[in-house]
Amino acid sequence: MNESGSGASGRGALAELKEAVSSLFEQVVGLAPDLGLGREFPRHELRVEDDGFRVLVESPGIGREDVDVSVSGRTLTISSRRERFEPPAGARMLRSERPSGKYELTLQLPADVDPLAIVARMQEGVLEVRLPKPSARGRSVRVEDAEAGAAQPAVEQRPATGATPAAEEEPPAEEGPAQQMPWEEGPETPTAEGEGGGTQNG
Amino acid sequence: MDRMPSDELRDTPGPGPPASEDREARARRRHYARPAVDIYSTESEMVVLADMPGVRKADLEITVERDELAIEGKIAGRREAESALPWGYHRRFKLRTAFDRERINASLREGILRVTLPKAATEQPRKIAVD
């Protein structure tokens, strides 16, 4: 709020009013994340690809442990939590725009996906979830001969509904509830530290 | 919350389209976003933290020219994919404090850009000894 205490002239009163409105707006917008009300979700995108879907969610500063991805039927739910930024003691905030709090996004997928083949990865602050469609391909099954003590050649097996993932194509799927989210181990994104980064002119 | 002080720094709004804007610049203006920032100031430095998810170090440009700090980062693959997500991020600030340009440094991690601008010695409070 305006602390100058002037406001005697018409122009001063208008400025005071503007400040009051903007201050109130900032307070209202600022309250939601603190109360964990689940504010508007970060930017995200659903991409339809030939063999499935890809969901991208902007998640700067959010680690794997703060993200939960689950699929139930064709409903995909992504929730995440971002900590509020705390400046060092005694620092003066000049801008405070970055959001924090809990987010939850629910998407209806246009088609079935294979819950066991879903993988997620976090790269440069972008969460990427790949949801392959159920594969119609057969799955090779190794048959072991107990007496001979060695594995027999694989037997081609075509499942009736085609819901089983092709073992040679997909990364090893984790058994268990669909909520388990296998994380892809991508190459380590090197931390970019530099002195005098970028061009400096003038 | 008090209105943010503007004595040390001021946002520069994006430039309007020039008469001879080419397709590249026009696409950038329409598809780039301004990153959300937290900026704080201490006696010795100003720190800018900007959310720029998807930007890789190699595609990041930070420029300090005269009294303006500009940050820009293109996100690989977004334009080709005709993504609805930003194709990049850019933002400029007018600096009203003198900085030690040689010691400005930046880091990019988990999609967050951190630019540290050490204040010039003249800007820092100087204790005056009293005889």
pLDDT(A137) > 50: yes
Q: Which helix (H) or strand (E) holds B117?
A: strand B112-118
Residues of chain B with Cβ-Cβ distance to A121 below 8 Å are: none
Q: B107 at the A interface (CB within 8 A)?
A: yes
Please list the pLDDT of chain B residue by residue as tens digits (131 residues). 445 677 788 887 765 566 566 877 777 778 999 999 999 999 999 999 999 999 999 999 999 988 899 999 999 999 999 999 999 999 999 999 899 988 999 999 999 999 999 998 887 777 788 88
**Contact B51/A87, CB-based, under 8 Å?**
no
- Specify the pLDDT at position A99: 94
Mutation target vs A (from B109, B112, B115, B117; most A CBs, 10 A cutoff): B109
Residue A29 has pLDDT above 60, yes or no: no
Which of A183, A177, A200, A194 has the alpha carbon at shortest distance from A70? A177
pLDDT value for B28: 74
| A201 pLDDT more than 50 | no
Domain assignment present for B1: no
- Does any domain span residue B64? yes
| Residue A37 pLDDT > 50 | no
Domain membership of residue B89 (yes or no) is yes
Task: Give the contacts of B125 (CB within 8 A, at least 6 positions apart).
Answer: B43
User: A167-199: per-residue pLDDT in tens?
Assistant: 444 444 444 344 456 777 655 444 444 444 444
- What one-letter code names the amino acid at A180? Q
**Whole-model pTM over 0.90:** no
> pLDDT value at position A172?
45
Contact B52 A62 (CB under 8 A): no
pLDDT of residue B108: 97
Contact B99, B70 (CB under 8 A): no
Tell me how far apart the alpha carbons of residues B112 and B39 are, in angstroms, rounded to a whole number: 13
- Residue B24 sits in which domain range? 9-121
The Cα A117–Cα A182 span in angstroms is: 9
Closest CB to B3 among A23, A189, A194: A23
Instruction: Give per-residue pLDDT as tens, A82-119.
Output: 999 999 999 999 999 999 999 999 999 999 999 999 99
Per-residue confidence (pLDDT) for residue A95, from 0 to 100: 95
Instruction: Classify residue B39: in a domain, yes or no.
Output: yes
For the segment A139-159, the average pLDDT, to the nearest whole number, is 55
- Domain with residue B101: its CATH number is 2.60.40.790
Determine the straight-line distance between the first and last CA of chain A, rounded to whole angstroms.
38
Q: What is the mean pLDDT of chain A?
A: 71
Confirm whether B117 is domain-assigned.
yes
What are A3-25's pLDDT values in tens digits?
444 444 556 777 777 666 655 55
pLDDT at A145: 67
Tokens of A45: 């995108």
- Report yes or no on B128 lying in a domain: no
Contact residues for B60 (Cβ-Cβ < 8 A; gap 6+): A192, A197, A198, B52, B71, B72, B73, B106, B108, B113
Which tokens in the block code for residue A134? 């159920």
Residue B5 with chain A: CB contacts under 8 Å = 92, 94
Any domain includes B2:
no
Q: Tell me the chain B residues in contact with residue A43 when contact means C-beta distances shorter than 8 Å.
A: 85-86
Q: Please give the tally of structural domains in chain B.
A: 1
| Band of residue A73 on the pLDDT scale cut at 50, 70, 90 | very high
Higher pLDDT, B73 or A33: B73
- Count Cα neighbours of A202 within 13 Å in the Cβ-side half-sphere: 11
Interface probe, candidates A49, A97, A191, A195, chain B, greatest B C-beta count within 10 A: A97
Report the residue from B41, B42, B56 with minimal CB separation from A124: B56
Q: Is residue B131 part of a domain?
A: no
CB–CB of A191 and B109 under 8 A?
yes
Beta bridge pairs of residue B41:
A92, B46
User: Comparing C-alpha atoms, which of A26, A172, A54 is closest to residue A113?
Assistant: A54
Token representation of residue A72: 């139930």
Instruction: Give the whole-angstrom CA distance, residue B5 versus residue A202.
Output: 26
Residues B5, A94: C-beta atoms closer than 8 Å: yes
Sort A101 into a burial class: Cβ within 10 Å, 0-12 / 13-18 / 19+.
middle
CB contact (8 A) between residue A125 and residue B111? yes
